[in-house]
Amino acid sequence: MLEKEFEEEVIDSEISEERYEHKRLVVDAGQSAVRIDKYLAERFASSSRTRIQDAIDSGFVWVNAQPTRANYKVRGNDVICIAFPDPPADIELIPEDIPLDIVYEDDHVLVLNKPTNMVVHPGSGNYSGTLVNALLHHFKGSENVQKGLRPGIVHRLDKHTSGIMVVAKTEYAHAHLSKQFHDKINERRYQALVWGDMRWKFGTIKAHVGRAGHDRKIFAAYPDGSVGKHAITHWRTIERFGYVTLVECKLETGRTHQIRVHFQHNGHPLFGDIDYGGKRIVRGSMQIQGYKHMVDNALQILPSQALHAKTLGFYHPENGHWMQFDSELSPGMKQLIQTWRDFSYHTLKINQEDMQPV
């Protein structure tokens, strides 16, 4: 149901174990200068120019071992490497009786809290136990399910990211909500625990987000805009704990792994983020008594990054009323924050006033 133009706006979407069709070619020495998207479209008749441009924008096309842009003009002897994602195979979706924490529901939308450690949509390695499996069971008997329509996932959260989500129950609601995400007229706020002492009250991170060249499953920041898609994250400090900081993030764009990538780029990776450096003790003195032991214990509290989708606001697709929802932090994230708070106050002797941003 999701239109292609809106597909680019999904939040922190799961990176599925897609199969990739790898291509490598060397440009003829006498080749005249021509845009790479046009050049590749002429050589891969089975692939549309749009598919090629999407591959370039996503960081799947490299020239001479460097990611490229669609307007790059190929030159003789250029070495071009491409990794086209294969179209995903059809997956049989099975309804499963999995409890859902539903915050609101009517005939058009459903708002819920996704728990930590739940995948949103089935993919390779995750064919059951997903949010979609649970929604199919919840919607069992509804007109949409009877028609064979899938639950309308408007935006997604990573497996280990907890928090508030909206699901469309009709085709119209899905199109309406997707356009809100695309036009950036909804509101999305997250809370994250990041490494380092964020002493400023607020800030903004601007850097394109695109595939990392060394690993297609993760992303990287490209502040010069050479690769990836435009991305902006606004943040403000909520509470400081000396070596980690609780921040609120407001997304202006919705790129895959945006918050995680931006804070790694900013030198403050999310605590516990295995993909972006958050499992390493990157701040703090090992000479402080009990510090390493405390950090090791804290890393066991959450399975991955300390990130929670706290607030979601949108216009109701049917009546146009503004709706806003706020969710409780997950139990694991609450415990993690309290662990750092206790350590800061009692071990580091940092008082409440010192924890306020300057």
CA distance 188 to 257: 14
Query: How many Cβ atoms from other residues are within 10 Å of residue 141's Cβ?
Result: 7
The bridge status of strand 162-168 relative to strand 307-315 is: parallel
Please name the amino acid found at residue 38.
K
Q: Could you say which of 78, 158, 273, 275 is catalytic?
A: 158
Active site residue 224: no
Please say whether the beta carbons of 202 and 208 come within 8 A: no
**SS3 sequence, the chain?**
CCCHHHHCCCCCCCCCCCCEEEEEEECCCCCCCEEHHHHHHHHCCCCCHHHHHHHHHCCCEEECCEECCCCCEECCCCEEEEEEECCCCCCCCCCCCCCCEEEEECCCEEEEEECCCCCCCCECCECCCCHHHHHHHHCCCCHHHHCCCCCEECCCCCCCCEEEEEEECCHHHHHHHHHHHHHCCCEEEEEEEEECCCCCCEEEEECEEEEECCEEEEEEEECCCCCCECCEEEEEEEEECCCEEEEEEEECCCCCCHHHHHHHHCCCCECCCCCCCCCCCCCCCCCCCCHHHHHHHHHHHCCCCCEEEEEEEEECCCCCCEEEEECCCCHHHHHHHHHHHHHHHHHCCCCCHHHCCC
Catalytically active residues, by annotation: 158
